[in-house]
A and B are shown apart, each in its own frame.
Chain A
Amino acid sequence: MAEPVALNLLLWLPALGMALLVAAPRAGDRAVRYFTFGVMLAQLALAAWLYGRFDGSVPGLQFATRIPWIADWGVHYHVALDGLNLLLVVLTAFLGPLVVAGAWTAVREHVRLFHVMVFFIQFAMLGTFVAQDLFLFYVFWEAMLIPMFLIIGIWGGERRIYATLKFVLYTAFGSILMLAAVIYLVWSLSRSTGIASFDFTDLYRHRLPLEVQTWLLAAFALSFAIKVPMVPLHTWLPDAHVEAPTAGSVILAGVLLKMGTYGFMKLGFPLFPDATRLMTPALMTLAVVGIVYGACLALVQTDIKKIIAYSSISHLGYVMLGLLSLDLVGVQGALVQMVSHGLVAGGLFTMVGMIYERCHTRELAAYGGLAKLLPVYSVFFMILTLASIGLPGTSGFTGEFMVLLGAFNAAWPRWLAGEALPIALAVVAVTGVVLGALYMLWLAQRMLFGAVRVPHGPVTDLGVRERVIMIAFVVAILGLGLFPRGPLAKTELAAREYQERVLATRLDEGTP
């Protein structure tokens, strides 16, 4: 019985931390930082313990808490872990302390407000992942906008106001249509079955005509696709990433983007399976276009942060490809790829932040030969680069390889049956790996090797704090790359469940 308590504690620790920070207006900056870091560590410990206790051989939800919240409407405070959100919760908890530690010296203004906002977004992100009730999910989903708006807008770069407004207005537009879809979905459930419920499990059983499914999927998909982001809805991402402070970029790339793919996996596809199968060719094409287009754009950027931002578009395309392949290996690969991208992109953004703190520019052309000046920095950067490319032994390899394998697994029988599109998409997706190697190695080469070029004079190598942060990232990346069996075993049943849900037919031929 301790596990549900621990899960709730995990979720509410950031909220508690936020309340305490608000209640202590006179706390010094140092105290605020240590306090936040401590709470985040406690949260990580809880997440790790829950991960250990999670039983991969049991299907469905575990450690659930279900309390009526708005009884009239059938809204419950329903939180639980399952194989789909388990890894993402651990990822979020893992990045928490690293974000705080990474911002130790970078954030000097409004320190207390900054940590309040970091707590706030941590709370909202964890809530989105563990919520098993559509209303609760939506509340957390939308609430994420508020802290991110402030984090980019207050501590961001020069064009921060433009970037943060663009980010919020983009994402809110998707969410408002999703809200309409949520209202309609729940209403149609209560009309056809008489149950007023927002519970995912009830909604998974709901039957709808194909036309309605398609409209609702379109509304959900718009919201999720903006968050992922999928081409052509990605234009907010480069601006937001470039202008955000390091902590904001890490949170954005590390967790926030996964909200979109998680939404597809948990809600969009399983809720409207028939419409999903109808839309699969279109969505899959968009995913592959994203892989290649993101990689091509990354090739031509001159701003280091932009290269990594566009690489995110490319890497999340793989996640979408894996989810849409509906092959078990592909779906599991998508899960691993989500975590892997969170770690790799989070780590890379942290490293860009470290060099930016020293040299105050993100122009790639301003740097060169850092390997000679900053050997420790360069080693870590190289490891992350290789992980981003997907070198065997790193988490990137596990994710991308499984996704591509799944895509081919699913495409092969279709090819034999005379359908060429899936296999063509899978082949094109492979070229994304090559392009990925190209732009990341080019980035590393221009930055780390060649003639020594450093703006603003001499620089110091990573300090102890920075080394510890990077070691944490590298250990996690190698751990997931070398020993993927543990996480895969814990999530296998959930992936199967997802597969079954999306393959099922839930058409309602009766009342429109």
Chain B
Amino acid sequence: MNWPLILQSMLPEHLLLAGMLAILGLEIWSGRSRDGHALAVVAVAAAGIAALWLHATGFSAAPFAGHYSVDPYTTLPKAVLLGLALPVLLISRDDFAETPYYTLVLASLYGACLVVSSDSFLTLFLGLEILSLPVYALVVLGFLRPQSAEAALKYLVLGGAATATLLMGMSFLYGWNGSLELAVFGDAVLAGEPIALAGAALIIAALFLKAAVVPLHAWAPDAYEGASAPVTAYMATVVKAGVVFAALRVIGTTTLTPPVLGLVALLPLVSMAWGNLAAIRQTSFRRMIAYSSIAHAGYLFFAFLGAGAGRWEAIVFYVVAYGLMNLLAFAALPRGADDERQDRLDALKGLHRRRPAAAAMLAIAMLSLAGLPPLPGFVAKFLVFRNVVEAGHTFYAVAGLVASYLGLYFYLRVIQYLYMGEPEPSAARGQPRRLAFAASALCLAPAVLLTFFPGWLLDRL
């Protein structure tokens, strides 16, 4: 064992682990559970900086050859995931003062880091489970209403189904080829033998389930609504991004051919259309975001229609733009004691009169999620659909763009509430909070950068 190499290449993971242990240790030794928040923020920031440092130095190594490797294509997604987790932690303190929350988030992030570095189905499976198991607990941790428990259970059961499906697919591929390497997936798609194709399809289905792609999306609206706002933000951004990065790891640069191509084209297409249409009817903000994230999962998986090289660029840029804007919305969202009422879209009516800055930030987030220029969401969408056209799937690109058009209405409706509605007299004011402000600044600053200089990030991909 080459310990220094392991230490260096797994530095982000080690820092997360250290943070986790420190939080637990602190609780045991001092009995104070209040410092968990600060420790978690420090650990995630340090891990993120470590990932960026590894990326900047172009570090690449395979400390556990065949299972776990580190190169710039893994360090950047790690930095992105950790960077997105930071605003989530910043908006968490009002909801969660206790340590378990922070330990669970750090554990889940550890899993996310493992996923993007995995080379074999074994590590990938481990990573995905470590990523999602703590989230089941996080959903129920807030326990805001009885529905939270129901939502968590639903999420757990369907998550378990995804796990089983993934294992089944892996075992098919193992039975076909006798290898657990991720590269087997590409061979299986190209080989076109029934068992290999069945294995590939099961693995994709499992990833679709975890990312909430129609028709495997049913858990998402309940889980998103039942969880507390920071957990929803975490699920919509970090967990979703982690799963998509897992897909990127599995599919890699394999050129998809029918019938797998059909699976990756049609279900995301339906997902975009259905997510955008169903979002129109929602009255709960988090439920609406759930449907929005179902549609966005569709766009993200659409990127796999493109040729190998462009996928990486499209997915990373999309994850950054989508993640930042989603988190901006959650950071700007006014919060109050009565969660169920605050979560209603009606509660946003006339927010511009009460808190213009929060309204403006929510509006920016919604417009970017809708993909309207000049906001970063537009460049992200452009990138995805450009790759689809360049791969020769013009029909899918046009259908996808029309499906994305369907989403415009419900994003605009939020803006309509913010600016054109009269505030309900009983609406809680929702005090601006300093940490939430820091979180929104953390999201807004890179978003502004990406608006004016999208090339800055694209050059680095």
Q: Judge whether B438 is part of the interface by a CB distance below 8 angstroms.
A: no
Closest 4 CB pairs of A and B: A70-B455, A139-B373, A176-B405, A142-B373
In the assembled complex, A160 has its CB within 8 A of some CB on chain B:
yes
State whether the Cβ of B58 lies closer than 8 Å to any Cβ in chain A. Answer: no
CB contacts under 8 Å to A, within B365-389, are: 367, 372-374, 378-379, 382, 385-386, 389
The answer to whether B356 touches A25, judged by C-beta atoms less than 8 angstroms apart, is: yes
Q: Does B205 make an interface contact (CB < 8 A)? A: no
User: Inside 8 A of A183's CB, which chain B residues have their CB?
Assistant: 382, 385-386, 389, 397
Q: Are B416 and A153 in contact (CB under 8 A)?
A: yes
A172 touches B389 (CB 8 A): no
- Could you tell me if B404 and A146 are in contact, using CB atoms closer than 8 angstroms? no
Chain B residues with CB below 8 A from A176, complex form: 401-402, 404-405
Shortest CB-to-CB span from B366 to chain A, Å, is 11
A145 at the interface (CB under 8 A from B): yes
Q: Which of B352, B373, B390, B419 has the most CB of A within 10 A?
A: B373
Counting CB contacts under 8 A, is A49 at the interface? no
Check: A106 CB closer than 8 A to any chain B CB.
Answer: no
Q: How far is the CB of B401 from chain A (nearest CB, A)?
A: 5
**B454 contacts A by Cβ under 8 Å:** yes
- Is residue A509 within 8 Å, beta carbon to beta carbon, of the partner chain? no
Partner-contacting stretch, out of A161-169, A227-235, A289-297, A489-497: A161-169
Determine if A150 and B419 form an interchain contact, defined as CB atoms under 8 angstroms apart.
yes
Interface size on B, residues (CB 8 A): 32
Residue of B nearest to A155 (CB): B420
A187 lies within 8 A of chain B by Cβ: yes
Determine whether the beta carbon of A169 is less than 8 Å from that of B372.
no
B42 CB to closest chain A CB (Å) equals 32
Contact B419 A154 (CB under 8 A): yes
A153 to B415, alpha carbons, bound, how many Å?
10
Report whether A70 and B373 are in contact in the complex, using a CB–CB cutoff of 8 Å.
Answer: no
Is B458 among interface residues, defined by CB-CB distance under 8 A?
yes
Report the bound CA distance from A50 to B379 in whole Å.
32
Within 8 A of B (CB), among A154-185: 154, 160-161, 165, 168-169, 172-173, 176-177, 179-180, 183-184
Asked if A179 meets B401 with Cβ closer than 8 Å, knowing A139-B374, A145-B372, the reply is yes
Contact B394 A149 (CB under 8 A): no
Residues of A near any B CB (own CB < 8 A): 25, 68-73, 75, 110, 113, 138-140, 142-143, 145-146, 149-150, 153-154, 160-161, 165, 168-169, 172-173, 176-177, 179-180, 183-184, 187
A142–B372 touching, CB < 8 Å: yes
Task: Output the nearest chain B residue to A184 by Cβ-Cβ distance.
Answer: B389
Q: Are the CB atoms of A165 and B409 closer together than 8 Å?
A: yes
For the complex, would chain A's binding face be called helix, strand, loop or mixed by DSSP majority?
A: helix
Q: Is the CB of B405 within 8 A of A172?
A: yes
Supply 25 A–B pairs (Cβ within 8 Å), ascending by A: A70-B379, A70-B458, A72-B455, A72-B458, A113-B356, A138-B373, A139-B374, A140-B373, A143-B373, A143-B374, A150-B415, A150-B419, A154-B419, A161-B416, A165-B416, A169-B408, A169-B409, A177-B402, A179-B385, A179-B401, A183-B382, A183-B386, A183-B389, A183-B397, A187-B390
* Distance of A165 Cα from B385 Cα, bound (Å): 26
- The complex places the Cα of A128 from the Cα of B402 at a distance, in Å, of 23
A-B Cβ contacts below 8 A, count: 84
Contact between chains at A165 and B412 (CB < 8 Å): yes
* Residues of chain B lying within 8 A (CB to CB) of residue A168: 408, 412
How many Å lie between the Cα of A469 and that of B374 in the bound state? 33
* Least Cβ–Cβ distance between A30 and chain B, in angstroms: 19
Among B382, B401, B409, B458, contact of A177 (Cβ-Cβ < 8 Å): B401
Distance A43 CA – B272 CA, assembled complex (angstroms): 43
- Having A179-B401, A187-B386, one finds 17 other A-B pairs with CB under 8 Å, namely A68-B455, A72-B455, A72-B459, A73-B386, A113-B352, A113-B356, A143-B374, A145-B372, A146-B372, A149-B415, A165-B409, A165-B412, A172-B405, A176-B402, A176-B405, A179-B382, A180-B401
**Residue of A71, A154, A180 touching B398 (CB-CB under 8 A):** A180
Report Cα–Cα, A217/B352, bound state, in Å. Answer: 41
Chain A residues with Cβ below 8 Å from B390 are 187
Residue of chain B at shortest CB distance from A135: B382
| Residues of B91-143 whose CB lies within 8 A of A | none
CA distance A452 to B405 in the complex (A): 51
Residues of A within 8 A of B398 (CB): 177, 180
Which A residues are CB-close (under 8 A) to B367? 146
B455 touches A153 (CB 8 A): no
Residues of chain A lying within 8 A (CB to CB) of residue B397: 180, 183-184
Contact A149 B373 (CB under 8 A): no
Q: Smallest Cβ distance from A119 to chain B, in angstroms?
A: 14
Residues of B with C-beta under 8 A to A75: 455
Q: Which residues of A contact B459 (CB under 8 A)?
A: 71-72
When distances are taken between beta carbons in the complex, the residues of chain A under 8 Å from B401 are 176-177, 179-180
Residues in B neighbouring A160, C-beta threshold 8 A = 420
How near does chain A come to B303, taking the closest CB pair, in angstroms?
A: 14
CB contact under 8 A between A153 and B352, given known A176-B402, A183-B385, A184-B389:
no
Whether A161 touches B386, Cβ cut-off 8 Å, given contacts A143-B373, A146-B372, A168-B408, is: no
Whole-angstrom CA separation of A180 from B393 in the bound complex: 12
Name the interface residues of B445-461: CB closer than 8 Å to any CB of A.
Answer: 453-455, 458-459
Least CB distance, A199 to chain B, in whole angstroms: 16
- Most chain A CB atoms below 10 A, which of B398, B419, B459: B398
Contact residues in B for A184 (Cβ distance below 8 Å): 389, 394, 397
CB atoms of A187 and B454 under 8 A apart: no
Pick from B352, B386, B389: contact of A110, CB below 8 A.
B352
Q: How far is the CA of A160 from the CA of B402 in the complex (A)?
A: 26
Residues of B within 8 A of A142 (CB): 372-373, 378
Least Cβ–Cβ distance between B445 and chain A, in angstroms: 15
**Given the complex of chains A and B, what is the CA–CA distance between A70 and B457 in angstroms?**
10
Cross-chain contact B405 with A173 (CB below 8 angstroms): yes
Are B372 and A154 closer than 8 Å at their CB atoms?
no
Considering only CB atoms, which chain A residue lies closest to B405 in the complex? A176
- A68 cross-chain contacts in B, Cβ below 8 A: 455
